[in-house]
Amino acid sequence: MMRGEIMFNRMSCRRRIALALPVVAAAIIVAGSPAPAQQPAPAAKPAAPKPAAPAPAAPSIPGAPQPTLLGQYVDWGAYTATPGGKKVCFALAKPATSRTTPPNRPRDPTYIFISSRPAEKVKDEVSIIFGYGLKPNADANIEVSGASYAMYTQADGAWVKNAAEETRLVDAMRKGQELTVKGTSAKGTASTDVYSLKGLPQALDKVAQECR
Q: Give Cα separations from 179 to 44, 77, 162, 176 (angstroms).
A: 46, 16, 18, 8
- Judged on CB neighbours under 10 Å (0-12, 13-18, 19+), 105 is middle
For residue 90, what is the DSSP state? E
Q: Residue 182's pLDDT is what?
A: 97
d(CA 133, CA 185): 6
Quick one: CA torsion of 185, 107, 90, 204, rounded to 10 degrees?
90
Instruction: Provide the 3-class DSSP secondary structure of residue 133.
Output: coil
Q: Residue 66's pLDDT is what?
A: 80
The answer for residues whose C-beta is within 8 angstroms of residue 6's C-beta and 6 or more apart is none
Q: Residue 197's pLDDT is what?
A: 98
User: Which tens digits make up the pLDDT trace of 65-106?
Assistant: 588 999 999 999 999 999 888 899 999 999 999 999 999 999
